[in-house]
Each structure stands twice: as structure tokens, then as C-alpha cells.
Amino acid sequence: MADPVPGFGRIGGDAEDMALKSSQAFFEKAPAVVVLGKDGAQETAAGRARELGVPLLVAPEGAPEETSSDQQAFASEVERLGARTLIAYGSLSASLAGGLEIVDGSAPDADLPEIEPAEGATESGFAVVVREGEKAGDAAGPALATAQAAGADLHTMESGDPRAAKNQEFFQNHAESDLYAIGNGFGKTKDFSALAATAAAGKQLPGGGQIVFPDRRMVALYGTPGTASLGLLGEQDVDGAIKRAKKYAAKYQPHSKEEVQPAFEIIATVASASAGKDGKYSSYVPVERLEPWVKAAQKAGVYVVLDLQPGLNDFLTQAKHYERLLTYPNVGIAYDPEWRLKPGQRHLAQIGSVDAAELNRANDWLAELTRKHKLPQKIVILHQFTQSMIRDRSTLDTSHPELALVVHADGNGTPGMKMATWKNLRRDLPDGIWMGWKNFIDEDSPTFTPKKTFDIDPKPWFVSYQ
């Protein structure tokens, strides 16, 4: 099978410019061109272009005696197409026609010259997408009519993200077609092209879909396989952990209109009291030990977050160690600044911290990895219980569409203490970040019930149990 979305083109600008670009993209030759002039009925002109299978161009504005660059571009395109007839809707100056025959589009069909079939510029089929609201009467209308006249399959996107549930099927059905986006609501070309390729590839999150939130919430067991002292996850084998995670998620479902899905948050690098061979005060759980858990979770519809406690390492270094696991569609990452040391510091002697710039570097790499492998969006959890744990938090880059960033409130204690932490972490929270919550089985007094947890305002999107 060919790579998803083998060719991609963006057609934007004003109506005149988009119509010209569409003609250039979709037609090699055309014996006639429908032209929308001043005060012409656009929908009628568009219908005629589709009916005849020829381009629809928009007459450039300007006085007849002037020769503008737009008029020159129009004339050049008509010449390139080899058109002999202009079918005009609205007023059209004779000088613009350059001596070609002009036919009033409102004339009966019998008065039209015989139109021979046009020659398309695409050989293997192509597809066109347009944002909802861009229709025949809007700026993109003439360009869309030209695409349809050339035989394009058209999809109207309710969301500008190709990965959205209502868009995915179209992109998957056209994975081997050239793709064009017509209109001005698609963001950066590089981003849209990559997201279209991801949608076409069809890799799914547990429970379906390629965008994490807001269509789901998650409830996770926290810990390390085989180590009961580090959290609930390590108190049983992988099959037992899957059953337990699903049981916890089910308790939350009555309190959520969104689907509540089970998850693991696995401590992949563990903060240590000793420096270790590398002197970094952090030990790696081997990839080979974690991969069976990832595979079993994927099969069972469980999401996995790999938690990093880096010591003197930087987060990017540790994230790269688990690159193979991060290529699974059900695996995200968590950064735990509490365990990020500066030179001379030791765990538990102080609360660790990290600069936002370091997190941005790690996220840049993770976003590129996600894009390269055409993976669904990944969760990125930022553990925090004091503002000082993430320095310059306002500079966090939240622009990567491949990542769903979650600030996870890690505080324990009484309900009042936990809510104070929650309120503090939400203060000056950058746009584009979701909120998460942790329930401690032993350290909270008392541990919040599922109902009480989901009564928090705003309702947490990711809840973990330690």
C-alpha cells in the first residue's frame, strides 16, 4: 500500500486566487472556462462548471483599461488551458477575454458551443476537503466547483483536525489519493499534512479515536510492575492489574457523560537513594520488562503512561530510552519534576524542579516521533504539587497537536489541603492544558470517592491511584 496521503496541496487566499490555483491543480486542458464576473450568481456559475466539467474562474477586479498582475494571471491560465470560449456570469470586460468568444451563461443550452471533454491534471484520483461553513456562496466556492468539475471526492470537515472522529473515515478511504485542502481554516500546511497522514494511517487509541480529550476520561493505577511498595499497579501481575484498572474505571462511569477508560501509569525510571553506576540517582526499568505490560494493555484497551523520575538526568534523555515503547499507539509519558535533581541535591532532601524549557525540548522530540510514526495523540502528564516545581510554566509550548498536556495535581493529605493544591495549580495555567488528579490510598485522609473526585471543578480528565 502507498504511504497515506501521498500528495498534499493547500489552496488558500481570496476567491479569485483560490479559483486560479484550483484550475492549475486539477486541469491540464479545457476547451471552455466558466467565468464569474461582477454581480454574477456564484452558485449558478458553479453549477454550470460542474455540469460541463470545466474550471470556474473569477474575473479579476480592475478597470478595463488597466492591466494588473491578476489580469495577466487570469489570461495566462486561460491560455494554458487552451480555452476557446468563456461562459460568463455577470459583467465581463471584452479586454479580459483577449479576443476569445464570450457566451452569456444565462443563455439557453442550445446557444452554447459544443464543449469537448476537458483533460484532468490528476491521474490516480484525488480528494478535497473544506471546512464547514465554506460552501458554494463563500470564497472557496469557485475553487470547490472546479475541483468537483474535475471529479474530486469532497468532504466537509466539521472540525479542522483530520483526526476527529467524523473526519477519519474519509481520510482512511482516500489514503492512496492526492489530497487538497481548499479554504483558509486549516492552520499550518506542515501540521495539517501530518495530521491528515495520521488520520489516513488509522492507528487508534484504546476505545477508538485519535484525539485523547474531550471524548474520554481516564482512571489509572500508578506504580511499577513487581514492586508493591511503589503503588497499586505493582500489587498484582499484568492480568490482575488490567482487571483492577477496569474495575476502578467502571466506578467512575456513572459520574461521567464521557467514556471512562482504564489506564496504567508505570514508573519507568525510579528515583534512587544511591547514585548508581551512571551517578544519576535514577534507575531504568528495562524496556524488555515493560513491553509485555504495554502489549497486554493494548490488547485489553488500557492506556499506558510511562512515568519518569530522572534524578540528575534530563527528561529528554530518559524519554529517548523508551522510544520503542512510545511508538505504541496506547503509550504516553509523564514527567515527575519532584525527582529532578540539580547538581549537589539528593532525593527527599528537597522538592525537585525543572525548567519549562527542558520539558519543551522533550515534547518537541515526542511530537516529532508521534508525527513520524503517524500515531494518535499522546498524553503528556506534568506532575506538580507546588508552582515552583515547573519554573517558567507560562512558557510551556502547548502548540503541538500531537500531544495532550495534563497538569496532574499530586498533593496528598486532607480534602482541604488537596483542594488548596488544586486551586494553586490552576492559577495562571497556560491555555491548552488539561487537569489531572491523584488519589493516595494511604496518605489521603480520607481518600476521595469516585463521586467526590468527579465533583471537583473542573472535573479531572485523568485520575490516578497510588
Please, are residues 408 and 371 in contact by the beta-carbon 8 Å criterion?
no
Segment among 256-265, 357-366, 437-446 with least mean pLDDT = 437-446
Q: Write the CATH number of the domain with boundaries 216-465.
A: 3.20.20
DSSP label of 210:
S
Q: What is the average pLDDT across 321-332? A: 98
pLDDT tens, position by position, 199-258: 999 999 999 999 999 999 999 999 999 999 999 999 999 999 999 999 999 999 999 999
Q: Is 0.85 topped by the overall pTM?
A: yes
Please, are residues 216 and 258 in contact by the beta-carbon 8 Å criterion?
yes
pLDDT tens, position by position, 42-86: 999 999 999 889 999 998 875 555 567 888 899 899 999 999 889
Please, are residues 435 and 461 in contact by the beta-carbon 8 Å criterion?
yes
The 10 Å Cβ neighbour count of residue 44 is 16
Please report, for the chain, the start and end positions of each structural domain, with discontinuous segments joined by +: 8-201, 216-465
Identify the pLDDT of residue 1: 29
Distance between CA 157 and CA 163 in Å, rounded?
A: 11
| Three-class SS state of 120 | strand
First to last CA, the chain: 45
pLDDT tens, position by position, 185-211: 787 888 888 999 999 999 999 999 999
The 10 Å Cβ neighbour count of residue 108 is 7
| Three-class SS state of 465 | strand
